[in-house]
A and B are shown apart, each in its own frame.
Chain A
Amino acid sequence: MPPRNRVGEVAALRLERLVKTSVNGAPQWHLQPEANRTLVTLSGDWIAQQGHLPDFPESGFRDVPHGEPVEFSTDQLGKWDTSLISFLWELKRTAREDNVQLRIDTLPESARKLLDLLPEIPPTPAPPPPHKFQPVTAVGQLTLDTLNEVGCVSEMGAAAAKGGFAALVGRGMMRTVDLMSDLSAAGPAALLIVGVVNFLVGAILAFVGSVELHKFAADIYVASLVAIAMVREMSAVMTAIIMAGRTGGAYAARISTMQANEEIDALQVFGIPVSSYLILPSVLALAFTMPLLYLYGCLIGMLGGFFVSYIMLDVSPLGYFHETLQALPLDQFTFGFIKSFVFGTFIGLTSCRIGLKAGRSAADVGIAATKAVVVGIVGVIALDAVFAVIANVIGI
C-alpha cells in the first residue's frame, strides 16, 4: 500500500460513511433572514478529527424576529459525524434560551434522531468544594484519624488473636493450607534476599570499622563490632525492612484486590471471619518467620564481616570466632529476637489493615501496596527507636 498522509488517511477512513459523496471543504454555517423564516445553512465536511470546528455564539439568534421559525438547509452539507451534532446541540440550547422556534424536522433524519437523545439542558456540574487551608482542623483530623487507625489495628489484632486461640483449641476458622502457603512465602522464599542484604551489611560494617580500628591496632575488635551491630540492630531492622517491602506490600495488594472483586464481601456473607481466615495466617506467618530470619541474618552478617576481615585484615579465623563469642552475651539475642517478633506482627497487621481499608479500583490497589510498604518501613524504624530507649532504661 502506498504511504498516505494523515489527513488523506482520515478522509479515506471516513469515505465509507458519507452522507454525500462530494468533498466539500471546511465546515461552515451562516444565518440568513428570509421572508417569514430564518435559514441556517450548513455546508462542508463536519469531521471532528479534521481539526477546527465552528462554535455557535450565544448571541447567534439575536437578530431573529420574534415568532419566526428557524429552519435548516443541508443541501451543501458534506459528510459529518458527532461534531455536527455537537454544534446543533449548542444551537438548540441557545434557541431554547432565546425562545426561538427551531424547526428540527428540517434536519436529516439521522441527525435528528441523535439530537433527540440529548438532554435539553445539560446539568451544570457541581463546583468542587473550596479547599481552604485550615491548619488546626487538619492537625486535629490527622490526630483523630491516627488514633482511629491505632484502635482499628489493635481491634483487628485482638480479633486475630482470638481466632488464634480458637485455632489452638481446634475450633478455629484458619486453614492449615493457608498458613503453610503464607509461611513458605514469608520464610524460605525470602532466604536469598535476606541473606544477600545481611551479608553485605556485615561486610560494610567490617569495612568501616576496620579503617578506624586499624589505627589503634585493634583489628580483632572488628569481630565484636560486627557481631554486636548485627545482633542488636542491623539484622532485625534490615530483615524487617525487606519483609515490609516484600511481604507487607504483597499482603496489602492481595487483600485490596480481593476487596475490589467483592471477595471480602463474599467471605462476610458466608460468615467466615476475615480476621481469622485471612489476617491470622498472614500475621502468624510473619511473626513466626521474622525471628528465624533474624537469626539467619545475624549469622550471614557475621559471615560477611568475617569474609572482609579475613581478606583485608589478616585476622585468623579462630581469633575472629573467639572474639565474636566473647562479645555476645545471650540476652542480646533475646532482645533482637523479641524485636523481630514485634516487627513481624506489626508489619502483618498494618499491611492487612491497609489492604482491607483500600478502595475498590485498580489504582487503589497500587496505593494500598505503596502505603503498606511506607508505613511498614517507617513504623519499623520508629519501633526500633522505642526499643532502643527501653533497652537503655533496663540496661541491656
Chain B
Amino acid sequence: MNNQMPSTDDRPVMIDVNDVTLAFGPRVIQHDVSFQVRRGSIFAVMGGSGCGKSTLLKSMIGLLRPTHGTYMVQKDNYWAGDDDSRVRIGRRFGVLFQSGALWSSMTVGENVALPMQMFTKLEPHVIRQLVELKLGLVGMLHAIDQYPSELSGGMRKRAGLARAMSLDPDILFFDEPSAGLDPITSARLDELILNLRDGLGATIIIVSHELSSLFHIADDGIFLDAEQKTAIAHGSPTWLRDHCTDPTVHAFMHREQLDSSSSHGNG
C-alpha cells in the first residue's frame, strides 16, 4: 500500500516523535505514532474528528505526558527531563489555541506583552514597540487596546497568533487555525502563516482538517486514523491526495463518503 511519501528533504530535523502512545487512563487514543518535522517545514497533523489530533498536539506542547515513546526537540528529550527543562524547551514554543485562549481580563496588547514582561528584561517602551509590530503583522494593530470579549472569532485567532509569536519562538503549534473562519479570513491567515515561516524561519505544526488550507500551506504531514488508533499515512497533503491508496485517506482528501465497511467519524 502506498502511504509513505518518498522524502528528499535534507533540512535538519527539528522535532522527532518516536513510537509515542497517548492514553487517558486505560483508553488508548493513539499508539506507536512516529514522525519527524524538519526545520522550516509546515507540518500538518490530519485526521477525522475525534481521532486524537488535538491530543497529540497536547502532548507536544507539554500538557499531556505520553504513556510510551520519546519526543525529541532537536537534541532535547522533552518528556525525560524535569519540569524546569520542559519549561526551558517550551520557551521555544508558540501555541495558537483553537479559540485563541486570550486572557480575558487583559487587553489584546497586554496579552501579547505579558510573556515578554515575564521572560525578558526589555524596557517597557521596547515591549510596546514589539507588541505593536506583532499585532501589525497579523493586522490587528487597531485592536491593541480592546478586550478579547469585544473581538470576533477571527480577530481572536489573529490576536492569539500575535501572542504565540510574542517571544519569537522557532516552533509554532496551531490548533485548527482556520476552523470557524470565513474563506477570505482563512486565506489571509494561510498567507500570514506562510509569510511568518519564510520571514522568521519558524517550524510550524498545524492540526487541521481544512483541506483547502492544508493543500495550500503544508509541505509535510501525518494522517491519524480513529479506527486503527495510529498513523496510517505520512506525506504532504497534496501528495496524499494524489498518491495515497489507503481508502480512508483517499476519502478524506477527496471529501468523499467512505464505504460502509468502515464507520469512523469523518469531520
Contacts and interface: CB of A to CB of B under 8 A. Distances in A.
Nearest to B121: A51
Interface stretch (B137-145, B244-252, B257-265): B137-145
Given A16-B39, A53-B122, A82-B133, 18 more contacts: A9-B88, A16-B14, A16-B74, A47-B168, A49-B167, A81-B168, A82-B168, A89-B136, A113-B199, A114-B137, A117-B137, A117-B192, A118-B137, A119-B141, A360-B149, A361-B148, A363-B105, A364-B149
A82 B164 CA distance: 13
A125 interface: yes
B147 interface: yes
A103 interface: no
The binding surface of chain A is classed by DSSP as helix
5 contacts: A16-B14, A51-B121, A89-B133, A114-B195, A118-B133
Given A82-B130, A122-B141, A361 B104 contact: yes
A47 B130 CA distance: 12
B198 interface: yes
B199 A110 contact: yes
B193 to A, nearest CB: 11
Given A51-B121, A114-B199, A83 B130 contact: yes
Interface in B27-78: 39, 74
B136 A119 contact: yes
B129 interface: yes
A86 interface: yes
A51 B127 CA distance: 10
Given A48-B168, A82-B165, A361 B105 contact: yes
B201 A48 contact: no
Contacts of B132: 86, 122
Given A110-B199, A111-B199, A117-B195, A82 B141 contact: no
Interface in B75-121: 85, 88, 91-92, 104-105, 116, 119-121
A6 to B, nearest CB: 9
A363 B130 contact: no
Interface in B175-202: 192, 195-196, 198-202
Contact of A125 (B116, B121, B145, B149): B145
B198 A49 contact: no
B209 interface: no
Contacts of B130: 48, 82-83, 86
B157 interface: no
Interface string A83-97: 101100110000000
A111 B195 CA distance: 10
B258 to A, nearest CB: 32
B126 interface: yes
B134 interface: yes
Chain B residues touching A, range: 35 or more
A84 to B, nearest CB: 10
A17 B74 CA distance: 13
Nearest to A125: B145
Nearest to B168: A81
Given A113-B199, A118-B137, A362-B105, A86 B129 contact: yes
A51 B126 CA distance: 9
Interface of A: 1, 9, 13-14, 16-17, 47-49, 51, 53, 81-83, 85-86, 89-90, 109-111, 113-114, 116-119, 122-123, 125, 359-364
B19 interface: no
B170 interface: yes
Interface centre among B105, B139, B165, B168 (most CB of A within 10 A): B168
Nearest to A362: B104
Given A13-B91, A13-B92, A114-B195, A82 B200 contact: yes
A110 B200 CA distance: 7
Contacts of B149: 359-361, 364
A359 B148 CA distance: 12
Nearest to A118: B136
Nearest to A360: B149
B137 A48 contact: no
A121 to B, nearest CB: 10
Nearest to B191: A117
Given A89-B136, A117-B136, A117-B137, A49 B168 contact: yes
Given A48-B130, A82-B168, A125-B145, A110 B88 contact: no
A363 B199 contact: no
B170 A13 contact: yes
A256 to B, nearest CB: 12
Nearest to B129: A86
Contacts of A110: 198-201
Contact of B134 (A47, A82, A363): A82
B112 to A, nearest CB: 11
A309 to B, nearest CB: 52
Nearest to B201: A17
Given A9-B88, A82-B168, A125 B200 contact: no
B111 to A, nearest CB: 12
B129 A16 contact: no
Contacts of A53: 122, 126
Contacts of B165: 82
